[in-house]
């Protein structure tokens, strides 16, 4: 990443670290969790050189000349990878001028690209970084059509170069929300989806300069964007909850065999987990859903993730938007570990839970083996915690992204420091006792 930034232009208090500042460092004597699904390793060591992981685990020797951090009593993990977020797209939800989440009056939908709106100086990014989040996928949200547009993969480094993979995926909303957007029923939503994919396929097959014939519902830009979905070069994220809707999504591959699908939501996924696994379609979901908030989530259960995982589905914890902030990912994962103590419930092991917020969302986002894991060759995204990261009482001590140590201060932390002791010194001047 290019980390040479003019701080004033971004509103930062100091110039962010440059790529050349990627540090060689090691963390020793810590409990190391590599993020690959395995159990934590006690008295482990992690070595990072030139912004990349060199080694991680027990019995790792620190190369001569590499500075070491004593991790005694602390834990080391890869940086958290938050899938399907709204990071960088808004400042204040209720102030439309600061909100780029959706474009309900735009003539375009599938062609919309979030990268032009992403704000690296967003406080939401800084707050998430303090919580141990180092990378994320950012999705647009639906305006007036079932297609929301193209999302991106970002890193949360304190610089302007946040985009890692632009136009990484296309997002389409089905189910109850998609039905409302398409004209009032699931029939309309599925017809709109299939027609759009067919039209995009026809446009892609036209000779250069040829004009489209017959019915045309997509703008040229939307058709071009969806052409990448049809030929499988761009992943299609599908928002869907009900078991029957999931079956219909999986059936799309009969007509469009190159589709690279990801299910988002899938609250009733456990009911069709075998079919999802057989189709090799991964799922991104928010696990703490145990109440039927709508008719399409009547079968909601906290065991959804565990049961899908047990059936062989690749499942990541995600969908962090609004008040469901990315920094809450460890809490979500920790609950799935605790769920194993509930009779009749199905949760995850500790290692599986950590993987669901690190390596698995990285894999689904196209960075498998490169992020979300402490393995040789992976990016140097490392978090040093003061305790078990899946415990509510634990917090990051230090965060590195691409081997660069990151600032952890933000507006929230500065307010906390200002008012934590209620000393008169820190009261605004307009206040009096």
151-162 burial, b at 16+ Cβ within 10 Å, e below that, comes to bbbbbbbbbbbb
Paired with 82 in beta bridges are 136
Rounded CA separation 59/153 (Å): 34
Give the model's pLDDT for residue 170.
Answer: 98
57 inside domain:
no
> How far, in Å, CA of 190 to CA of 419, rounded?
53
- Which residues neighbour 340 within 8 Å (Cβ) at sequence distance 6 or greater? 346, 347, 348, 349
pLDDT at 424: 67
Cβ atoms of 82 and 196 closer than 8 Å: no
Of the candidates 402, 355, 354, 357, the one whose C-alpha atom is nearest the C-alpha of residue 378 is 402
Q: What is the pLDDT of residues 217-254, one digit of tens each?
A: 899 999 999 999 999 999 999 999 999 999 999 999 99
**In the predicted model, what is the mean pLDDT of residues 179-202?**
96
Phi-psi region of 133 (alpha: psi -120 to 50; beta: other; left: phi over 0): beta
Computed over every residue of the chain, the mean pLDDT equals 91
Q: Is the pLDDT of residue 374 over 80?
A: yes
Task: Give the residue with greater pLDDT, 420 vs 341.
Answer: 341
pLDDT band at 97 (very low <50, low <70, confident <90, very high): confident
Q: What is the pLDDT averaged over residues 177-192?
A: 96
Q: Give mean pLDDT, residues 352-376.
A: 97
SS3 267: coil
Domains identified in the chain, total number: 1
Which pLDDT tens digit goes with each residue over 297-342?
A: 999 999 999 999 999 999 999 999 988 899 999 999 999 999 999 9
Contacts of 254 (CB under 8 A, 6+ apart): none
Segments of 279-314 assigned E as strands = 283-285
pLDDT over threshold 60, residue 129: yes
- What pLDDT was estimated at residue 10? 36
Q: What is the CATH number of the domain that holds 258?
A: 3.20.20.140
Angstrom distances, CA of residue 303 to CA of 188, 253, 278, 357: 32, 28, 20, 17
- Using pLDDT thresholds of 50, 70 and 90, give the confidence band for residue 17: very low
User: Does 5 have pLDDT greater than 70?
Assistant: no
What's the CA gap between 352 and 355, in Å, rounded? Answer: 5
- Rounded to the nearest 10°, the torsion over CA 386, 389, 391, 393 is 30
Question: How far apart, in Å, do the first and last CA atoms of the chain sit?
Answer: 49
pTM: 0.91
The answer to whether 263 and 238 are in contact (CB under 8 A) is yes
Q: Is residue 344 part of a domain?
A: yes
Q: How confident is the model at residue 16 (pLDDT cuts 50, 70, 90)?
A: very low
Q: For position 23, what pLDDT does the model report? A: 84
- E-strand ranges in 71-157 read 75-78, 80-85, 133-138, 147-155
Q: Which two tokens stand for residue 430?
A: 């307009």
Higher pLDDT among residues 291 and 11, named by residue = 291
Residue 107: pLDDT band with limits 50, 70, 90: very high
DSSP state of 322: T
CA distance 287 to 206: 44
4 lies in some domain = no
SS3 of 122, please? coil
Largest CA distance in the chain: 77
What per-residue confidence (pLDDT) applies to 6? 31
**pLDDT digits over 70-92, tens only?**
999 999 999 999 999 999 998 88
pLDDT in tens, 34-63: 999 999 999 999 999 999 999 999 999 999
Share of the chain above pLDDT 90, in %: 80
- Whether 10 maps to a domain, the answer reads no
Residue written as token pair 């908030």: 293
Say what the pLDDT of residue 433 is.
Answer: 53
Alpha-carbon torsion angle 167, 168, 172, 177, nearest 10: -100
Is 268 within a domain? yes
315/303 Cα distance (integer angstroms): 12
pLDDT of 413 strictly over 90:
no
**Cα separations in angstroms, 96 against 16, 92, 101, 212, 239:** 29, 8, 9, 37, 24
Residue reference for tokens 């930062």: 12
Residue 33 in any domain: the answer is no
Tell me how far the alpha carbon of residue 130 is from its chain's centroid: 16
Per residue in 262-290, pLDDT tens?
999 999 999 999 999 999 999 999 999 88
Are 399 and 77 contacting, i.e. CB atoms less than 8 angstroms apart? no
DSSP-assigned letter for residue 379: B
How confident is residue 104, by pLDDT bands cut at 50, 70 and 90? confident
Give the list of residues 6+ apart from residue 274 with CB closer than 8 angstroms, or none. Answer: 311, 312
260: its two tokens: 């690279």
**Structural domain boundaries enclosing 287:** 79-367
Angle between helices 411-419 and 123-130 (to 10 degrees): 70
Task: Say if 97 falls within a structural domain.
Answer: yes
Per the model's pLDDT, the better-predicted residue between 415 and 89 turns out to be 89
Q: Report d(CA 358, CA 133) in Å as an integer.
A: 9
Answer whether residue 53 is part of any domain: no
């Amino acid at each position: 990443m290019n980390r040479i930034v003019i701080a004033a232009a971004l509103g930062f208090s100091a110039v962010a670290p440059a790529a050349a500042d990627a540090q060689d460092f090691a963390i020793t004597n810590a409990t190391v969790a590599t993020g690959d699904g395995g159990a934590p390793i006690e008295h482990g060591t992690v070595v990072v050189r030139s912004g990349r992981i060199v080694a991680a685990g027990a019995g790792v020797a620190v190369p001569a000349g590499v500075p070491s951090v004593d991790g005694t009593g602390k834990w080391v993990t890869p940086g958290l990878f938050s899938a399907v977020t709204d990071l960088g797209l808004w400042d204040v939800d209720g102030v439309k001028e600061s909100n780029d989440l959706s474009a309900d009056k735009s003539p375009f939908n599938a062609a919309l690209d979030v990268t032009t709106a992403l704000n690296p100086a967003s406080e939401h990014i800084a707050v998430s970084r303090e919580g141990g989040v180092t990378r994320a996928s950012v999705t647009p949200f639906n305006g007036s059509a079932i297609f929301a547009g193209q999302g991106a993969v970002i890193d949360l480094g304190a610089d302007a170069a946040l985009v890692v993979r632009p136009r990484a995926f296309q997002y389409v909303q089905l189910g109850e929300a998609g039905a409302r957007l398409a004209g009032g029923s699931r029939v309309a939503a599925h017809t709109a989806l299939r027609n759009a994919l067919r039209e995009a396929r026809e446009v892609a097959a036209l000779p250069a300069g040829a004009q489209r014939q017959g019915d045309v519902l997509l703008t040229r830009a939307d058709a071009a964007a969806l052409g990448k979905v049809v030929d499988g070069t761009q992943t299609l994220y599908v928002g869907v909850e009900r078991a029957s809707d999931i079956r219909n999504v999986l059936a799309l591959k009969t007509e469009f065999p190159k589709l690279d699908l990801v299910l988002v939501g899938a609250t009733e996924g456990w009911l069709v987990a075998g079919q999802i696994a057989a189709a090799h379609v991964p799922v991104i979901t928010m696990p703490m859903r145990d109440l039927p908030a709508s008719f399409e989530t009547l079968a909601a259960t906290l065991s959804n993730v565990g049961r899908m995982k047990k059936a062989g589905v690749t499942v990541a914890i995600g969908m962090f938007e609004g008040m469901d902030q990315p920094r809450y990912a460890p809490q979500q994962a920790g609950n799935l570990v605790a769920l194993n103590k509930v009779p009749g419930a199905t949760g995850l092991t500790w290692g599986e839970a950590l993987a669901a917020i690190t390596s698995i969302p990285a894999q689904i986002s196209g960075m498998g083996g490169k992020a979300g894991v402490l393995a040789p060759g992976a990016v140097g995204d490392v978090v040093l915690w003061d305790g078990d990261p899946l415990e509510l009482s634990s917090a990051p001590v230090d965060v590195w992204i691409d081997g660069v140590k990151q600032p952890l201060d933000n507006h929230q932390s500065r307010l906390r420091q200002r008012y934590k002791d209620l000393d008169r010194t820190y009261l605004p001047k307009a206040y009096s006792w």
